Amino acid sequence: MLDPACGSGNFLYLGLKCLKDIEHQVNLEAEQLGLERQHDLTGPHNVLGIELNEYAAELARVTVWIGELQWRIQRGYAFKTHPVLEPLDHIECRDAVLGPDGQEAVWPKADAVVGNPPFVGVSRKRRELGDDYVAALDRTYAPRVAGASDLVCYWFDKAQRAIEAGTLLRAGLVATNSIRGGANRGVLQRTCAKGAIFCAWADQPWVNNGAAVRVSLVCFGKGDAVELDGRSVSTIYADLTAPGADGEALDLTKAMVLPDNTGASFQGASKKAKFEIDAAVAREWLRLPNPHGRPNSDVLKPWANGFELSRGPQHQWIIDFGTSMPESDALLFEVPIDHVQRVVKPERLRNNREAYRKHWWRFAEPRPGLRLALAALPRFMATVAHSKHRFFVWLPSTTSADQALIVVARADDTTFGILHSRFHELWSLRLGTSLEDRPRYTPTTCFETFPFPTGLTPADTAHQRTEALPGGTLIPADLAQPARTHATAIAQAVQRLTTLRDAWLNPPEWTERVPEVVPLGMDDSPYPDRIVARPGFEKDLAKRTLTNLYNQRPAWLAQAHATLDQAVAAAYGWSDENAALPDDEVLRRLLALNRKRAALKM
């Protein structure tokens, strides 16, 4: 047995104990048959390890010997004395994925691999491993392992390659539950294409370095029975799901990105430094002049992050110099650039990324594609990437969206309603990944694969023109029938939902609207009015958040969503069946529609 990330040896200890228990049981059965026992066929020499940390590797060797001695005491076996302990050089101290020359590391031959490889997400790889190491990983493992994969994926890839080469029979590895989706899932798709997953637990609690996480346990290679979460199944898909109780296949890993959906959904900007400022400070700066006559409103924007959507107003603004403003122009915004020079620049100059150091006054990833898509819109919709509940909110076009948000560049209520439907929520839960117990929404796997109703796809709304209906509801312009009828019904249903939701979040009895500050040199404020608590209602209002609302899910909210779902179901042609459709049937129909549209575009 090999653990190629053995740490201090816990898996090796358990593996050794398992091997010796099997040998002991065989000896007992041999005696019953009148055969002679054979002692000490298994021992520390049967467990192999690779560990990068020298202290942990030495501790693993000690752990294995302690486990051997304890087992012999418990089973009544005498200690070996010639010698008592032997060297355990086969627990090696080295890198398990890259060799010293930057090439792929070689694993020793084993019957089984087990282990708990390091939990390092893609967002932390460069910070913890360094640019050179990540570049070496990309050179060595591409295209088998995508650069956007978590570190654990390299262990899965190496184990699968060893199985294919015949130097390994089976493997069982622990990963965060994000292994089931996004770029990470690529290694499991290869496993399913080249072999099989024969046992898995899709989503289990785990404690890692004192932090609670959610993990997937995946066993692949040569196995007899197939079990998922302790129940027998016919097969296990790469997203660690299986066919339904009726045995009908529902392999959502076969869903494909739809060309009609691209260019509409984006991750918000990544700043990688403290560009944000308090709202009161921003309002003071908006009244200040600059030597070139431009107002500070050019570079000051209300800032929305995940807390802004889930917990209510955070009252923060941000200094945003856009995607291409040169340093010479940024210096003319006197007070904002002074803050950036004092607070941001020192942090940026220590960054490992050359581009971040060179353009220290700009966001690290300003998302030019997102800004171009939003340029002509009065508002856009956003959702928190990692969230227990999948709700969207409207944000004014003056808002700067943080990387914690996923933005949809559309202003019509019809698209807003479809994204709020049960059908899109089910799809995004299964096609997305997760962080701990919070599902993760991504522009690619969740939005770009989702089959919108016919005539209402992002391609149909790509012109971004809207038509106002009585009451202010906006639908995409120039829609043909029957899409226009469905668009109207969906928009009106979601407007009702939004109106009720907004009234709960900000009761007029508890709140008042205050005009936002007018920047110097302007006749009107480019920012919408802000909502503030009336005196005495601050604590009550602070409890009115979307997270709390969807945790409670009162009857009026459930009813409003049900009405919206009926309108969206009608657009799919499922109006008579919506209430009775099981989740798997909804997903099966959506997958069929996805595959049909993908085939038409090929």
Confidence tier at 499 by pLDDT (50, 70, 90): very high
Residue 49 inside a domain? The answer is yes
Whether residue 233 contacts residue 569, with contact meaning beta carbons closer than 8 Å, is answered with no
Question: CA distances (Å), 118 to each of 13, 150, 329, 386, in order?
Answer: 18, 9, 45, 22
The packing angle between helices 413-420 and 483-505, to 10°, is: 70
Closest to 239 measured CA to CA, from 323, 182, 309: 182
Any idea which of 64-78, 410-424, 546-560, 582-596 has the lowest mean pLDDT? 64-78
Q: Which residue in 365, 363, 386, 368 sits closest to 182, CA to CA?
A: 386
What three-state secondary structure class fits 278? strand
Give CA–CA dist 164/144, Å, rounded.
14
pLDDT for the residue numbered 579: 61
Position 368 in a domain: no
Task: Quickly state the pLDDT bin for 435 (edges 50, 70, 90).
Answer: low
Kindly tell me if the per-residue pLDDT of 258 is higher than 80.
yes
* pLDDT given at position 403: 96
* Sheet with 170-176: strands ordered across: 91-93, 48-51, 2-3, 112-115, 170-176, 211-221, 197-208, 227-228, 231-232
- Check residues 388 and 339 and name the one with the higher pLDDT: 339
The torsion defined by the Cα of 279, 280, 284 and 286, in degrees rounded to 10, comes to 20
Q: Nearest Cα to 85, choosing from 76, 72, 95?
A: 72
Residue 209 predicted with pLDDT over 90: no
pLDDT for res 578: 63
What would the DSSP string read from start to end of 319-358? E--TTT--HHHHTTSHHHHHHIIIIIHHHHHT-S-HHHHH
Residue 228 has a pLDDT of 95
Q: Let me know: does 414 contact 571? Beta carbons within 8 Å.
A: no
DSSP secondary-structure letter at 93?
E
Q: Which residues pair with 197 in a beta bridge?
A: 220
Q: Any bridge partners for residue 318, and if so which?
A: 276, 301
Q: For residues 406 and 267, is the Cβ–Cβ distance under 8 A? A: yes
Q: What band does 447 get if pLDDT is binned at 50, 70 and 90?
A: very high
- Residue 19 is assigned to a structural domain of this protein: yes
pLDDT, residue 194, reads: 93
User: Which range among 215-219, 314-318, 348-352, 437-441 shows the weakest confidence by mean pLDDT?
Assistant: 437-441
More confident residue, 503 or 313: 503
For residue 393, give the 3-state DSSP assignment: strand
In a domain, 242, yes or no: no
Q: How far apart are CA 212 and CA 202, in angstroms?
A: 16
Considering the chain, what percentage of its residues have pLDDT values greater than 70?
97
Higher per-residue confidence, 497 vs 253: 497
Whether 246 shows a pLDDT value over 70: the answer reads: no
Q: How far apart are CA 338 and CA 344, in angstroms?
A: 10
At residue 294, the pLDDT reads 95
pLDDT tens, residue by residue, 180-195: 888 899 999 999 999 9
Res 454 pLDDT > 60: yes
- Given a cut of 70, whether residue 211 has pLDDT beyond it is no
Residue 295 has pLDDT above 70, yes or no: yes
Cα–Cα dist 585/140, whole Å: 42
Radius of gyration (Cα) for the chain, nearest Å? 29
Mean pLDDT of 45-63: 95
pLDDT digits (tens, 9 = 90+) for 105-131: 999 999 999 999 998 988 889 889 988
Rounded CA gap, 521 and 288, in Å?
10
Structural domain total, the chain: 1
431 touches 445 (CB < 8 A): yes
Q: What is the mean pLDDT of residues 376-387?
A: 95
- pLDDT tops 70 at residue 22: yes
Nearest-angstrom CA–CA distance, 309 and 301:
16
Kindly state the tokens that stand for 546. 């979307």
Task: State which H helix or E strand residue 513 sits in.
Answer: strand 511-514
Asked if residue 247 is part of any domain, the answer here is: no
pLDDT digits (tens, 9 = 90+) for 530-571: 999 999 999 999 999 999 999 999 999 999 999 999 999 999
- Which of 43, 44, 49 is CA-nearest to residue 91? 49
DSSP state letter for 270: B
For 47-69, letters b (16+ CB in 10 Å) and e give bbbbbbeeebbbbbbebbbebbe
CA–CA gap between residue 54 and residue 596 (Å, rounded): 54
Lowest-pLDDT range, 91-105, 137-151, 231-245? Answer: 231-245
**% of the chain at pLDDT higher than 90:** 76
- The Cα–Cα gap between 593 and 62 comes to 57
Report the pLDDT value the prediction gives residue 352, as an integer from 0 to 100: 82
Go through 359-375 and write b for each residue having 16 or more CB atoms within 10 A of its CB, e for each that does not.
bbbbbbbbbeebbebbe
**pLDDT at residue 312, rounded to an integer:** 85
| For residues 208-215, average pLDDT | 74
Q: What value does the mean pLDDT take over residues 256-270?
A: 96
Res. 37: pLDDT tops 90: no
Per the model's pLDDT, the better-predicted residue between 447 and 471 turns out to be 447
The mean per-residue pLDDT over the stretch 372-394 comes to 95
Higher pLDDT, 87 or 276: 276
Which single residue is written with the structure tokens 């919108």? 452
Q: How far apart are CA 337 and CA 286, in angstroms?
A: 13
Rounded distance between C-alpha atoms, residue 515 and residue 535, angstroms:
17
The pLDDT-based confidence of 575 (bands split at 50, 70, 90) is confident
Dmax (CA) for the chain in angstroms is: 102
User: What value, to the nearest 5°, has the Cα angle with vertex 118 and ends 116 and 123?
Assistant: 140
Query: Over 90: is that where the pLDDT of 332 sits?
Result: yes
- CB of 259 within 8 A of CB of 451? no
Residues of the domain holding 14: 1-92
Separation CA 204–CA 457 (nearest Å): 36
DSSP3 helix / strand / coil % (the chain, rounded to 5): 40, 15, 40
User: What CA–CA distance (Å, rounded) separates 158 from 251?
Assistant: 25
Q: What is the mean pLDDT of residues 135-154?
A: 93
Would you say residue 262 lies in a domain? no
Report the pLDDT averaged over residues 31-58: 91
* Distance (Å) of CA 127 to CA 152, 272, 349, 403: 16, 12, 15, 17
Q: Which are the contacts of 106, defined by CB distance < 8 A and separation ≥ 6?
A: 99
Q: For residue 600, give every residue at least 6 positions away whose Cβ sits within 8 Å of its Cβ, in sequence order, or none.
A: none
Q: What is the mean pLDDT of the chain?
A: 92
Please tell me the distance from the alpha carbon of residue 113 to that of residue 219, in angstroms, as a whole number: 9
- Residue 583 CA to residue 562 CA, distance in Å, equals 15
Does a structural domain hold residue 87?
A: yes
- Mean pLDDT across the stretch 300-326? 93
Give the model's pLDDT for residue 32: 92
Tell me the β-bridge partners of 44. none
Would you say residue 427 lies in a domain? no
Indicate the range of 76-85, 270-279, 310-319, 457-466 predicted with least confidence: 76-85
For residue 122, the model assigns a pLDDT of 85
SS3 70: helix
